[in-house]
Amino acid sequence: MGKIKIGGMVIGAVQTNCYFVYREGEKDCIVFDAPDTGKEIVRRIEGAGLHVRALILTHGHFDHIMGAQDLRTSASGLAESRGEESVKIYAPSAEKEMLSDSSYNMTAMMDNPMTVRPNEWLEDGQELEIADIKIKVIFTPGHTPGSASFYIEEAGFLISGDTLFQESVGRTDFKGGSAQTLSKSIEEKLFTLPDDTQVFPGHGASTTIGHEKKYNPFFTDEF
């Protein structure tokens, strides 16, 4: 099998990273988070010669979900025209309340109230295999009660959502946020990954676990 690759695009009002992961030489890919313009995400990915097979949400805030329903509809239509199964949305089970409440997920604040109904709810520690890529679900609450990160061990990739950024961390001043919980998630669940793990956050540039353990100002130098 080919090497696992990652691509990305920055979309939406607050410059959210939307990632797509695929195997070199294969056409199927997995999308992580869907800011607005779901059809545009699908168009760009199809333009790169790839097909969306699944959408995985890291958490339920507006800037990560506003394109989710549109992406599922658009990508499913293309999949069905190829004789393939419809595209599924996956989301952390602990994010059910937020995804079902347009005030809580802040889409109402953006004058585009919506909810998202995933096809499958994910649990902490669960392992998925989509498009011949194995993904481990790591619940990392703090930014939101149900935030999750996704670890692709074979490639050494971590999709961290808004939990861990380059030399920063996610905000905790929104409803359901907790700075103490966020710090615990990062220290106990993410900083235990190999130092050379590449981190792909929901906003901003990529980084590595080793870099964050050494330089992230939100943590001590004990690592």
Q: Residue ranges per domain, the chain?
A: 4-215
pTM reported for the whole predicted model? 0.97
Span 159-199, pLDDT tens digits = 999 999 999 999 999 999 999 999 999 999 999 999 999 99
Query: pLDDT over 70 for what percent of the chain?
Result: 98
Per-residue tokens: 181:
């919980």
pLDDT for 223 equals: 42
φ, ψ (nearest 5 deg) of residue 79: -65, -45
pLDDT for 1 equals: 86
Q: CB-based contacts of 188: which residues, under 8 Å, 6+ apart?
A: none
Q: Are 42 and 20 in contact (CB under 8 A)?
A: no
Q: Are 92 and 163 in contact (CB under 8 A)?
A: no
Span 118-142, pLDDT tens digits = 999 999 999 999 999 999 999 999 9
**What stretches in the chain show pLDDT beneath 50?**
223
Per-residue tokens: 55:
């959408």
Fold of the domain spanning 4-215: Metallo-beta-lactamase; Chain A (3.60.15)
3-state class percentages of the chain: helix first, strand second, coil last, to nearest 5? 25, 30, 45
